[in-house]
Amino acid sequence: MKKIVVFASGSGTNAENIIKYFAKTEFGTVEAVFTNNQSAQVIERAKNYGVPSIIFSKEDLIEGIVLQKINEIQPDLIVLAGFLLKFPENIIAVYPNKIINIHPALLPKYGGKGMYGMYIHRAIVGNKEVETGITIHFVDENYDEGNIIFQKKVALSGDETPEEVAGKIHELEQKYFPEVIERLLEDKMS
């Protein structure tokens, strides 16, 4: 059985969706949820499925304590699902091409430091984009610059609010993120 660890900083809807998806398979399992936010809703969501949460500080991430905890699990894939801190190079070096992130826009547009959540959706609406979507990509040492694994587009009519754009993106994330994770893990098996 393939081992997955999920990193999240907030509500954890994507993390919960991944946990539920793999709980129904014999293929993989979410071993732990890592969060840098001790009041993040993802902790409760993980607990509801019996998945342990590991809460850490930014210093723990930088100083290698988080890497030690990851090494104890030996995951096949590390999934960033709404994780807001920059992922450290020491972990990327140990787990090359085993760390992925989901971004709520079509990279390379609307990527980089400070571009997350509603900031992106407001920018997309403000720029009157005719489409947006999700990007799943490998994590490297720069924000949102790793090799793209998967993109899915959704058309915009031009009169959506940022909240409506967020809703469309959330639907794409919920449908495609677990499937792409499973495909990646299958590829790593062969």
Average pLDDT over residues 134-152: 96
Residue 12, annotated as binding a ligand: yes
Rounded to whole angstroms, the Cα distance separating 82 from 77 reads 16
Average pLDDT over residues 83-110: 96
Question: What pLDDT is recorded for position 95?
Answer: 97
Residue 161, annotated as binding a ligand: no
Is 187 a residue whose pLDDT tops 90?
Answer: no
Residue 58, annotated as binding a ligand: yes
50-62 confidence digits (pLDDT tens): 999 999 999 999 9
Rounded to whole angstroms, the Cα distance separating 122 from 163 reads 8
Average pLDDT over residues 150-164: 96
Rounded to whole angstroms, the Cα distance separating 33 from 41 reads 11
Is 164 a residue whose pLDDT tops 70?
Answer: yes
Rounded to whole angstroms, the Cα distance separating 181 from 79 reads 8
Residue 13, annotated as binding a ligand: yes
Task: Kindly name the residue from 103, 121, 137, 170 that is annotated as catalytic.
Answer: 103
Question: What pLDDT is recorded for position 83?
Answer: 94
Rounded to whole angstroms, the Cα distance separating 67 from 55 reads 13
* 3-state percent helix, strand, coil for the chain, nearest multiple of 5: 40, 20, 35
Is 8 a residue whose pLDDT tops 60?
Answer: yes
Average pLDDT over residues 114-131: 95
Which three-class secondary structure state does DSSP give residue 170? helix
Confidence of residue 190 (pLDDT cuts 50, 70, 90): very low
Question: What pLDDT is recorded for position 188?
Answer: 64
10-63 confidence digits (pLDDT tens): 999 999 999 999 999 888 999 999 999 999 999 999 999 999 999 999 999 999
Residue 25, annotated as binding a ligand: no
CB 95 within 8 A of CB 78: yes
State pTM to two decimals: 0.95
Average pLDDT over residues 86-94: 95
Average pLDDT over residues 77-85: 95
The residue ranking higher by pLDDT, 134 or 186, is 134
Confidence of residue 68 (pLDDT cuts 50, 70, 90): very high
Rounded to whole angstroms, the Cα distance separating 69 from 86 reads 18
Cis peptide bond N-terminal to 52, omega within 30:
no
Active site residue 137: no
